[in-house]
A and B are shown apart, each in its own frame.
Chain A
Amino acid sequence: MLDTLFEGFRLVFQTDVLIAIIGASIYGLVVGSLPGLSATMATALLVPVTFYMSPIAAVATIIAASAMAIFSGDIPGCLLRIPGTPASAAYTDEAFAMTKKGEAETALGICLWFSALGGIIGTISLIVMAPLLAEMAFKFSTFEYFWLAFLGLMCATLVARSSPPKAIAAMFLGLLVSCVGIENPAGTPRFTFGMTDLLGGIEVIPVLVGVFAVAEIMRGMALKDPPKIPHRKFGSILKGQWELTKTHKPQQVRGNIVGIIIGVLPGAGADMAAWVSYAMAKRFSKTPEKFGTGHPEGLIEAGASNNASLASGWVPSLLFGIPGDTITAIAIGVLYMKGLNPGPTLFTEKASSMYALYIIFIIANIIMIPLGIMMIRASSTVLRLPRYTVMSVIVLLCAVGSFATGNNLFLVVLVAIFGVIGYVMEKNGYPVAALVLGVVMGTMVEQSFVTSLIKSDGSIIPFFSRPVAAVLAAMTFAALLWPAVVWLMKKRRAALEPAAR
C-alpha cells in the first residue's frame, strides 16, 4: 500500500507531468474565464494534445484544466454578470450583486476558496468511494453491466432538464451513431454505405469537439460583444474567507454532499450541482429574503458544490466507463486511448496510477488558490481581449486538433457535421449531453447486451433473476417511468386546484 503510494508520487513528480499541470491550469483559467467558452469545450480541445503525452500527464491535463475552468467561470460572473461557464450561471446574479455593493474581492474570494475546498472534499470522496465500489464491481457480470449502462443512460436523460422524450431520443441518436462501423460483436460493417472512412466507426473525439466546441462557437456568432470591463484594482482576495469558513459550516457540508452525489450520477455534472445547491441554500436559509442581494450563503454552497462534483464524477467513469458528466465523458476517451481502460481492475492492477490521479486532483485544487488569485488580478486585461482573437483561433484548433487524432481529413468533416447537429439540437431543446453519452456508451451497452443474450441463449430471464441485476433493473424502470409519474401528478394537482377554490 505504502509502496504504491510512493510509486504514485513518483509518477506525478515527473517534469512532463508537472509542466502539463501548470500549462493546463493556466489554459483552463483563461478559457474558463471567457464568456461563452465552457469548461467542457476547454477540455475537449485539449484531447488532441493529450494524444502525444504520457498517460499520467494526459490525465493530469484533463483534471487540471477542468477544475480551473469551473472556478474561472465565476470571474466574469462576478465582474460582468456573464457566467464564463454554464456551471457558474446559478449564482451569477448573487455574485454580481456583491460586486455592486463593493464586495467584489469577497465574492471572488468565496468562489476561489470554496471551489478549492469543494474540489478537495470531492477528491476525498473519490478516494473513499472508488475502491469500495470496485470490490462490488468485481462480482458484476455482463447482465449487471448492461443494466448499469442502461441506468446511466436513463439518469442522464432524466436530469437533462428538458422534455424527457427529447432527451431519450437524443440518447438513442447517440446510440445509433455508435452503431456505425465494424466495432460490433460480429464484426459486420454497419451503416458504412461503402465508405471506408466509416468502417472504423465514428470516434468520440470528433463528436465531442463538434457538439461542444463548434456548436458553441456557432451560438457565439449570433451574440453581441459583452460590455467592456472597467479596470479595477483588487484588494486582498482571501481576506475574511477563514471567518466565512467557520461561520458557514452547514452550507459547506450540504454543498459538498450534494455536489458529490450529483457528480456520481451519470450525465449530471457541475452545472446541475450548482443549480441544485443554490436552490437548497435558499430553501434552508434562515434569511432567504437576502438571496439575490449579494448574500454569501448561496455562493458558498453552490461554489463548493460544482467543484466537488468534478472529482466524484470520476467515480462511475473509472469504475464502469460510465461518465459522471460531460467532462469525464471526454476523460474516458483519454483513458482508453492511454491504455488505462476503465473498470474495477484499474484499482488493483494499476493502483499506483490511481494514487497518482488522486494526488493530481489534490495538487490541482491547491495550486488553484495562488493561480486563481493571479487570474483574478489579470482578469481585467484578459477579459478586455476582443472575442474574435480567441474564437477565430478556436475554429482553427477544431480543424487541426481533430485532424491530429487520426491524421485523416474525414475527421474534420465529422466535426463540422456534429457542430451543426449540436447547434440545431440545442436550439430545439434536445440536450446534447444525452447524445454524447449515447455515443460514448453505445459500444459498451451493445456488447453487454448481446454477450448476455448469447450467454443466456436468447432468454431475457437472467437479466432479472440475478439479485443485483434485478435491483438495477427495477431502478432503471423507475427512472424510465418517473417523468410520466411527475406529469400525472402535475395534471392531478392542476385538476384539483380549481375544485378547491
Chain B
Amino acid sequence: MQISDRISGGGLAALGLVAFIYGSKLPPVRGQPVGPEVFPMVVGAGLMIFGVLIALGIGRSFEGANEVVAAEDGTTVEEKSAPFDLLTAFKVALPPALLLFYVFFSERIGFIPTAFVIVSSMCLALGARWKAALLMGLFAPPVIHLIFAKMLRVPLPAGLLPMPW
C-alpha cells in the first residue's frame, strides 16, 4: 500500500479544505466571538498547509536519515523486501473484512457461527492446516463467549446457536 507523497499530501490538503469550508458554514453562537466553527477551520487550515508541504516533498530528508528507525518493530526491513502480490493484498485486507463480516452477520446468525468463520479463516490465511483451523474455530469462540457474555455480561447475540450458560 505505498502511495506517493504527492497523492497522500494532496489528499490531506483536500480534506483540510473540505473541513475548513464545512467549519466556516457552522452556525456561530450569538454574542460570542468564537464558537464551534473556529476549531475545525484552524485544523482544516493546518491540514491544508502541511498536506501541501508533504506533496512538495518537504521533510523527506528526515525519513531517509533515520534508516535505523525503519526497523523500529524489527520487522519492517523484511516487510519491504517481500513482494506485494495479490495474495498478500488479500491476506492484509482480511482482518478488517472479517470485522465488517462480524458487523453484518453477528446479529443474523449469532455470535458463535460468526466467530467460527472469523477464527477459522484467519487461521487458514496464516497457513494453518484445515484440521487445526477447524479446531481453533470450534474451541476459541465458546471460550470468548464465556468470558464476555457470562463474566462481563456483554449482550452477545445468541442467533442460531445459543450457549448453555
Interface residues of A (CB under 8 A from B): 35-36, 38, 48-49, 51-52, 77, 82-83, 86, 88-89, 92, 161-166, 168-169, 172-173, 175-176, 179, 184-188, 190-191, 214, 217-219, 221-225, 271, 275, 386-389, 391-393, 395-400, 403-404, 407, 409, 412-413, 415-417, 419-420, 423-424, 427-430, 445-446, 449-450, 453-454, 457-458, 483, 487, 490
Contacts and interface: CB of A to CB of B under 8 A. Distances in A.
Contacts of B122: 388, 391-392, 395
Interface in B1-53: 1-3, 5, 8-9, 12, 15-16, 19, 22-23, 26-27, 29, 32-36, 38-40, 42-44, 46-47, 50-51, 53
Contacts of B71: 89
B40 A179 contact: yes
Nearest to B1: A427
A187 B33 CA distance: 16
A179 B39 contact: yes
Contacts of A173: 12, 15, 47
B129 to A, nearest CB: 10
A176 B140 contact: no
B34 A424 contact: no
For the complex of A and B, the 6 pairs showing the least CB-CB separation, nearest first, are: A458-B33, A392-B122, A163-B59, A388-B126, A416-B99, A416-B96
B100 to A, nearest CB: 5
Interface in B53-104: 53-54, 58-63, 66, 68-69, 71-75, 78-79, 82, 84, 88, 91-100, 102-103
A49 B125 CA distance: 28
B92 A424 contact: no
A391 B120 CA distance: 11
A49 B133 CA distance: 26
B73 A214 contact: no
Given A163-B60, A221-B94, A172 B43 contact: yes
Contacts of B5: 428
Interface in B123-145: 123, 125-128, 132-133, 136, 140-141, 144
A163 B63 contact: yes
Given A169-B51, A387-B126, A404-B154, A396 B140 contact: yes
Contact of B99 (A176, A179, A214, A275): A214
Nearest to B115: A396
Nearest to A216: B73
Contact of B154 (A164, A389, A403): A403
Query: What's the dominant secondary structure at chain A's contact region?
Result: helix
Contacts of B133: 388
B74 A458 contact: no
Contacts of A161: 66, 69, 72
B2 A428 contact: yes
Contacts of B32: 454
Chain B contact residues: helix, strand, loop or mixed: helix
Given A185-B29, A395-B99, A396-B118, 6 more contacts: A172-B16, A223-B75, A388-B128, A393-B140, A409-B102, A449-B39
A89 B39 contact: no
Interface of B: 1-3, 5, 8-9, 12, 15-16, 19, 22-23, 26-27, 29, 32-36, 38-40, 42-44, 46-47, 50-51, 53-54, 58-63, 66, 68-69, 71-75, 78-79, 82, 84, 88, 91-100, 102-103, 106-107, 115, 118-120, 122-123, 125-128, 132-133, 136, 140-141, 144, 148, 152-156
B99 A419 contact: yes
B99 A424 contact: no
B144 A169 contact: no
Contacts of B127: 225, 388
Contacts of A218: 92-93, 95-96
Nearest to B141: A396
Contacts of A397: 144
Nearest to B52: A165
A36 B123 CA distance: 16
Given A428-B2, A446-B39, A453-B33, A49 B152 contact: yes
24 contacts: A52-B153, A82-B74, A89-B72, A165-B54, A169-B47, A172-B46, A179-B19, A185-B35, A186-B36, A190-B23, A214-B95, A218-B95, A221-B91, A221-B94, A388-B132, A396-B118, A400-B144, A403-B154, A416-B96, A416-B100, A428-B3, A446-B39, A458-B34, A487-B61
Contacts of A35: 74-75
Contact of A453 (B38, B100, B148, B152): B38
B37 to A, nearest CB: 8
Interface centre among B8, B95, B128, by most A CB within 10 Å? Answer: B95
B59 A176 contact: no
B29 A393 contact: no
Contacts of B12: 169, 173
Contacts of A165: 9, 50, 53-54, 58-59
Contacts of A168: 46, 50
A217 B95 contact: yes
B54 A169 contact: yes
Contacts of A224: 78
A482 B75 CA distance: 30
A221 B95 contact: yes
Contacts of A271: 72
Most A CB contacts (10 A, CB to CB) among B66, B68, B102, B125 go to B102
